[in-house]
Amino acid sequence: MNIQFVNHSSFVVEHDNIVLMIDPWLEGRVFNNGWDLISKTQFKFEDFEKVTHIWFSHEHPDHFFPPNLNRISEAHRKNITVLFQETKDKRVINYCKKIGFKHVIELKPDTFEVLSPDLKVMCELYQEGDSWILIKSKDFTIFNTNDCGIRDKFAADKIQQQVGKIDLLLTQFSYAYWAGNKEDRDFRRKVADDKLEGLKFQVDIFKPEIVIPIASFVWFCHEENFYLNDEVNRPQKVVDFINHRTKAKAVLLYPGESYWPNKEHNTELSIKKYNVDFEKILLGEDLIKGQSISEEELKIQAKNFVVNLDRNYKIWAKLLSPTNIWITDYNKAFRLSLENGLSNIELNIEECDASLSSESLLFNFKFPWGNDTLGINGRYQRPKKGNYSRFYNFFRYDQLASRGIKVGFNYFSKMAIRRVLVKAGLQKI
């Protein structure tokens, strides 16, 4: 079995005449121009000629990225089978059918899909759209937890019983979302360290011999979020942590490099390659600059947004409190309410619930996943005297609906129970 690293979360497993690609994001900026790849991808679009299967872990664009999928030639797509978790909305599988992939297979929970006489896979939803995959041959087992962030002991024990003995674990190793305001560098350091503790938790539960860090080889590439790069976990720190704080061995792969089980890999050389790329991006010479949206257009989009919110969620929308927003390129405050949409208000930035550009706020109004994107690209700040929950809640309902989660009594009951468990220390946030 050969594991070739493509980039970020993407790798290719070759075994028994099967060439399975995971989460192909090869190029392009994602999350509303908030992320870019640290290193250049070596895998070319022509190389899809040899790919037999593609699996997507979830719908986020650093895993499922239509602009890249459309660059795969039609001839190659006709020979590739897509694998995806079973979902209610069928968005991903319907899109893959539409653009002409050979077959699209929905993977049922706790059930192996046989790809060849000596290779089978199992995929299961973890939470909020994220899923893991088990790739198993007679002699070797790969477990990719990707963005699942498995940290709950009860859930982890259940998964461990499903997957059995693991030889190789692939998992994320750093934060890739908003991690404090510009001045909160100490907080980011704690978040980064906690990510490594989460990695250790998975190693302790699943007991792999080898860990390949993935899913964090990105940088915050916009002028509004560039500061977030200051405390991300860099490869040397991650490799040292795995080798000294866990019972597993770290193998670090640079784009284009491969790993064969039971063969040595020069991880130190891979670290040196990444160090060059990290130093280059930290110069901040290729940052994206925002575009200002007219106040008139923003207010029109806000009105459309609250009208739809009131129509779609009725009584639940009435529970929302107005939120105060500082728009950075206007340098003034606004109030978003169900009754009036976006209106001017006299407030200082410190008293607002969120501070962001008109471009980012427009994205929130236009797309159900807008606030999910905002939380990931980190293109905003949380004023210290505000209440960010008021801002977040305005966009939460559409965000949940985009994931197939129905907002109603059952949802709010589960949320209340979860808060009690978190407060009691029985569940992590």
Tokens of 294: 């007219």
Residue 284: band (very low, low, confident or very high) from pLDDT cuts 50, 70, 90: very high
What are the boundaries of each domain within the chain?
2-281, 295-423
- Same CATH topology for 2-281 and 295-423? no
- To the question of pTM greater than 0.75 for the whole model, the response is yes
The pLDDT value recorded for residue 421 is: 65
Tokens of 380: 């905003």
Q: Which residues contact 170 (CB under 8 A, 6 or more apart)?
A: 11, 142, 143, 144, 145, 146, 211, 212, 213, 214, 215
Percent of the chain with pLDDT over 90: 90
pLDDT, tens digit (0-9, with 9 covering 90-100), for 287-336: 999 999 999 999 999 999 999 999 999 888 998 999 999 999 999 999 99
Q: What is the DSSP letter of 322?
A: P
Confirm if 265 and 329 have CB atoms less than 8 A apart: no
**3 state SS of 257:** coil
Confirm if 341 and 306 have CB atoms less than 8 A apart: yes
Tokens of 176: 């890739």
Whether the pLDDT of residue 429 is over 60: the answer is no
Confirm if 93 and 54 have CB atoms less than 8 A apart: no
Query: Edge-to-edge strands of the sheet including 141-146?
Result: 113-116, 119-127, 130-136, 141-146, 168-171, 210-213, 249-250
Give 234 or 404, the one with higher predicted confidence: 234
The pLDDT value recorded for residue 314 is: 87
Whether the pLDDT of residue 261 is over 80: the answer is yes
> C-alpha angle 326/328/332, rounded to 5°?
50
Q: Which residues contact 179 (CB under 8 A, 6 or more apart)?
A: 187, 188, 191, 192, 228, 231, 378
Pick the CATH number of 2-281 from 3.60.15.10, 1.20.1330.10, 3.30.1220.10, 3.40.50.300: 3.60.15.10
The pLDDT value recorded for residue 411 is: 67
What phi, psi does 422 have (nearest 5°)?
Answer: -65, -45
What phi, psi does 385 have (nearest 5°)?
Answer: -95, 0
Which amino acid, residue 142?
Answer: I
**Nearest Cα residue to 209 out of 249, 171, 244, 245:** 249
Residue 415: band (very low, low, confident or very high) from pLDDT cuts 50, 70, 90: low
State the alpha helices, DSSP H only, in 355-408. 358-366, 370-377, 388-402
Least confident of 40-49, 245-254, 334-343, 404-413: 404-413
The pLDDT value recorded for residue 405 is: 76
Residue 128: band (very low, low, confident or very high) from pLDDT cuts 50, 70, 90: confident
Confirm or reject CATH 3.30.1050 for domain 295-423, answering yes or no: yes
Least confident of 147-151, 245-249, 395-399, 406-410: 406-410
Whether the pLDDT of residue 182 is over 90: the answer is yes
pLDDT, tens digit (0-9, with 9 covering 90-100), for 239-252: 999 999 999 999 99
Residue that the structure tokens 């080898």 belong to: 210
* Side-chain half-sphere CA neighbours of 392 within 13 A: 9
d(Cα 117, Cα 348) in Å, to the nearest integer?
A: 66
